[in-house]
Amino acid sequence: MVDGWLAQAMAAYNAESLANKEGYRGLVMMPGETLEQILHWTLESLPDEILIGLDADNNRPHRQEVDEMFEGGDHENGLFAGEGYILGEATIVNRGDSFSVHHVPEEWTDGIFSESRGPRGGRFVHWLHTHPNAVAVPSKQDADAAQYTLGVDMILGIEFSPSGPFGWYDDTDGVRRKLQPEQVAPVRQKRGWGRWRNSPEKPVLGVAPTGHSIHGLELISFHRSGTAVNVIFVDEEGYPYGWEKFQSST
């Protein structure tokens, strides 16, 4: 079972996914436990970005009633490989900076089709990489690497402290999807003298096992064509976090 703050964040994210479903051509579902594990790995691997490989779990098809609720009028069947199945276990494939993280180590390639599969050359259908203390907006390197993805690409942005030498970076254009509870505790005022006297502290969504305070999360998913893919976070039974509330409001 995931931490309560994260369950609330995923429910709020799912509510936005439902409200904006008409803007998406594809749909992918991620278990909440998988997201929690990736967050832990992200903070353990600082200051590096990490590349995560995921496959579809053929034993966990989407629930029909969930698809019917979250598919919009622009939904396109057969858009990507692994469609219709909940994501399986996550695997760390690489870590590095924004340039090197997409290059898959030799032990994770099959050695046969690696050249035709681009820098990742790997065996996984879906890929997720992290943006530590940066927004979840694809860079040129991200977009280039996605051209060889059979499934979908995802980016997880995470704002945390202590942040080390690099602060939060959000000076970029692009559509952003916040991953946070609907109700966030109000910020407090830092005590001190001079310019710090009225400096607001950032709200804390939760505290990771590594001891880092998590101030903000963002997650997006996209197809190599550039079209956005809607993400739904699901529980052990395959139902979205917030499912009962969604049913009562329809």
Identify the pLDDT of residue 204: 86
> Does a structural domain hold residue 43?
yes
Quick one: which of 25, 28, 30 has its CA closest to 9?
30
> Does a structural domain hold residue 186?
no
Say if CB 86 and CB 116 are below 8 A apart: no
pTM of the shown model? 0.84
**Ranges under pLDDT 50 in the chain:** 111-114, 116-117, 186-199
Tokens 């509330």 belong to residue: 245
Question: Exposure of 250 by Cβ count < 10 A (0-12 exposed, 13-18 middle, 19+ buried)?
Answer: exposed
Q: How many domains does the chain have?
A: 1
Identify the pLDDT of residue 168: 54
Segment 40-65, tens digit of pLDDT = 999 888 878 999 999 999 999 999 99
Identify the pLDDT of residue 43: 86
> Does a structural domain hold residue 190?
no
| 13 φ, ψ (degrees, to nearest 5) | -65, -45
> Does a structural domain hold residue 188?
no
Identify the pLDDT of residue 195: 39
Identify the pLDDT of residue 180: 85
CA atoms within 13 A on the CB side of 121: 16
> Does a structural domain hold residue 192?
no
Identify the pLDDT of residue 187: 46
> Does a structural domain hold residue 46?
yes
CATH number at residue 229: 3.40.140.10
> Does a structural domain hold residue 152?
yes
DSSP code string of the chain: ---HHHHHHHHHHHHHHHHTGGG-SEEEEEEHHHHHHHHHHHHHTTTSEEEEEE-EEEEEEPPHHHHHHH--TT--TTSSTTTTEEE---EEEEEESTTTTTS--GGGB-SSSTGGGTTT-BS-SEEEEEEETB-S---HHHHHHHTT-SS-EEEEEEEEES-TT---B--S-S---B-S-SS-PPPPBPP-SGGGTTPBPPP--EE-TTSPEEEEEEEEEE-TTS-BEEEEEE-TTSPBTTHHHHHHT-
Range of the domain at 94: 4-169+210-248
Identify the pLDDT of residue 120: 54
Identify the pLDDT of residue 123: 75
> Does a structural domain hold residue 143?
yes
